[in-house]
Every structure is written in structure tokens, then in C-alpha cells.
Amino acid sequence: MDQEQILSRISSMVDDERTLRDSLASGAIDEATERARLGAIERELDRCWDMLRRRRAKAEFGGSPDEARVRPVVEVEGYWS
């Protein structure tokens, strides 16, 4: 995934978050459903932001951004614990 694809994916997930919040507010879904779906989106957003930062760092320091790989959720989420 290149930088533009990652940014597009992030934008799409932010839109999904808004849609979920609107669905909860309108009563279309319950809180448990919203929480579960938001949790999944937030974890994927963390992975995308991690990938974007790593690609940018590689480019800044003379490496190839294409060498950066998506890390598992457990690894990315472990940074914030």
C-alpha cells in the first residue's frame, strides 16, 4: 500500500466512524454494536497510522517506503499500553 492508498483508507474509516455514531444516535444500532464496530475500526486505524509513520520514516532516512509492512494489531496496540 502506498501513502495515498493508506490516507484514502484512513479517510474511509473516519467516515465509517461517523456513520456508526449517527446510526447509534438515530437508534438504528445499539451501543454494544457500535462499541464492537468502533473498536475494530480504531484498531485498523492504528495499524494504518503506524504504517504511514513507518513509510515516512523510511523515506526520510534514505530507505525504501515499500519495505514497510503492516504490523499485527497486537504489536501496534502494544505501543499504547
pTM: 0.84
| Residue 59 DSSP SS3 | helix
Cα gap 3→40, rounded to integer Å: 22
Cα gap 26→20, rounded to integer Å: 10
Q: Is the pLDDT of residue 79 over 80?
A: no
Buried-exposed string 21-52: b where 16+ CB fall within 10 A, e elsewhere:
eeebeeeebeeeebeebeeebeebbbbbebbb
pLDDT at residue 36, as a whole number: 95
In tens, the pLDDT along 19-67 reads 999 999 999 999 999 999 999 999 999 999 999 999 999 999 999 999 9
